[in-house]
Amino acid sequence: MYFDLNNQEDKSAVVSTILIGSISLLAMIFLSFKSVIPGIEKDLLQGVSQQLLEHKIRNVLVSVEGRDIYLEGVVNPESADNAISLARRVKGVRRVYSNLRVIE
């Protein structure tokens, strides 16, 4: 097929085709990443929770958003430091956010 880019109608058709194709490609990429994330989040949640359990750190609620870990709860100073350190060591974790309340 031949397009005359000096012709306004042909030029509009080419631009529209490129735009629709680009939007479709971006939508497919977004959906493919979105379907992978829940599996990653599940693995990270299990990994961090398992580490805390193995090291007898209790009263810590773990939540995951993407590859970021959020820790909440009331713990002693040693448990707080250990929980953060253990969460950071789990493969795939990007950041650890601590909302742990430390009690003496």
pLDDT tens digits for range 31-57: 655 555 578 999 999 999 999 999 999
Domain architecture of the chain: domains with CATH = 8-102 (3.30.1340.30)
Which residue would you say has higher pLDDT here, 100 or 2?
100
Give the count of alpha carbons within 13 A of 50, CB side only.
9
Q: Work out the angle between the directed axes of helices 8-54 and 77-89 (0-180°, nearest 10).
A: 130
Residues 52, 32: Cα–Cα separation, whole Å: 31
Confirm whether pTM is higher than 0.75: no
